[in-house]
Amino acid sequence: MAVPLMQAVRVGSYVVKQHLKRREKYPLVLMLEPLLRCNLACSGCGKIDYPAEILNQRLSVQECLDADAECGAPVVAVAGGEPLLHKEMPQIIEGLIARKRYVYLCTNGLLLEKKIDDYKPSPFFSWDIHLDGDKSMHDASVCQQGVYDRAVAAIKLAKSKGFRVSINCTLFDNADPYRVAAFFDSVMELGVDGIMTAPGYAYERAPDQEHFLNRQNTKKLFREIFRLGKGHKWRFTQSPLFLNFLAGNEQYHCTPWGKPLRTVFGWQRPCYLLGEGYAPTFEALMNETQWDQYGTGNYEKCANCMVHSGYEATAVKDAIKRPWHIAQVALTGPKVEGVMAPEIDLSQQRQAKYDYNEQVAELMKKLPKDSVKKRTAVRRVKKVAVQEA
């Protein structure tokens, strides 16, 4: 099982409780980005194109724990940037585990060997290693040779020390389903506990704008991958219904509040992928965001999105409504033939708003005064900062 039984039971009972309380909007996974600085610059990443002053900001241990308390989701995914560049990451993880949160620490693995002894194996903790395919796929995706080998070495090391390890695989329109299938086989052979996969979101600030998948191609790609995977024992950390959605068999609408994101600037509106402003508190995010402005069919920037950030929570809600359906898909796997579910109508979606420069100017105003003055010094020590901020 990709997710341990106890975790599945706890998360399941949390979801059922929210439904019994008739809570319409509730978080499933807290996405925590305690920093935006990274030690890679991947072609499909839209998270790190900020001035150094912003990249040098950190959430403190207390801010991370406060975000967790505000949100209350049973699962926390710590991402970034590269979380292992944060000096206080071990204390953040320890604090979350002490609260019995199921924590996924998302990392590219480059610093794992150096940092691994700062962490202890726990049923509440899993490394989540970024791997976008086999050696040539992954190294091309992260724009650096040798990163795949180091990520694989990190997986082996973490497994040898008794940690749970999953991989996080983002696919683009140049993915060959046969290679992806062979890659999934290879990570299973490495002993990873689970695979999380999704199409890349078309970040407007990503360096490579040519290889994002549209919805039609996403569905065709995943159908083909799942067809090749029949009979293989791939363990996914995602809901069977989300996988069925990727294969074009569910007409789901986005649930953007399912995976709320806390960054160094507050709670990002509306979701992990799309930054259209920040709320000061989790409550303000949930109550004051105009949710119906977002999601496929509502907004141009959401038109091609099929990412778990918005659709995994929809799949979970569907599982509560139709338990027999999830049971059937779990048994047979996603449907890989026949007519797909109808696509969402895009004719009424509102136009995209592009205000990156205004947003950055606004964010810069919020920075502590001394961090702007440090700009020159920061540039001089940039290389060192990348090794360990």
Q: How many residues bind ligand SF4 (CB under 6 A)?
A: 14
Q: Segment contacting ligand SF4 (CB under 6 A): 79-87, 162-170, 292-300, 327-335?
A: 292-300
Handedness of CA 357, 361, 367, 372 (dihedral sign): positive
Is 201 or 282 the residue whose CB approaches ligand SF4 more closely?
201
**What minimum distance in Å lies between the beta carbon of 144 and ligand SF4?**
27
In angstroms, the CA 112 to CA 118 distance is: 10
| 170 contacts ligand SF4 (rule: CB under 6 A) | no
Q: How far is CA 386 from CA 51, 110, 113, 209, 275, in A?
A: 14, 11, 16, 25, 24
**What minimum distance in Å lies between the beta carbon of 270 and ligand SF4?**
5
Helix (H, G, I), strand (E, B) or coil at 277: strand
- Binders of ligand SF4 among residues 204 to 223 (CB under 6 A) are none
Is 27 or 109 the residue whose CB approaches ligand SF4 more closely?
27
Handedness of CA 190, 194, 196, 197 (dihedral sign): positive
CA 324 to chain centre: 28
Is 137 or 246 the residue whose CB approaches ligand SF4 more closely?
246
Is 248 or 310 the residue whose CB approaches ligand SF4 more closely?
310
Residue nearest to ligand SF4 (CB): 310
- Binders of ligand SF4 among residues 303 to 322 (CB under 6 A) are 305, 307, 309-310
Q: Segment contacting ligand SF4 (CB under 6 A): 25-33, 152-160, 291-299, 341-349?
A: 291-299
Provide the H-helix boundaries in 99-214. 112-115, 135-141, 147-160, 177-189
Q: How far is CA 196 from CA 19, 56, 168, 206, 239, in A?
A: 26, 29, 5, 21, 10
- Binders of ligand SF4 among residues 246 to 275 (CB under 6 A) are 254, 256, 270-271, 273-274
Q: x/- binding map, residues 98-137, to ligand SF4, per CB under 6 A?
A: ----------------------------------------
* Residue at 190: amino acid letter: L
Q: Are strands 275-279 and 102-107 parallel, antiparallel or unpaired?
A: unpaired
User: What single DSSP character describes residue 206?
Assistant: -
**Residue ranges that bind ligand SF4, judged by CB under 6 A:** 254, 256, 270-271, 273-274, 294-296, 302, 305, 307, 309-310
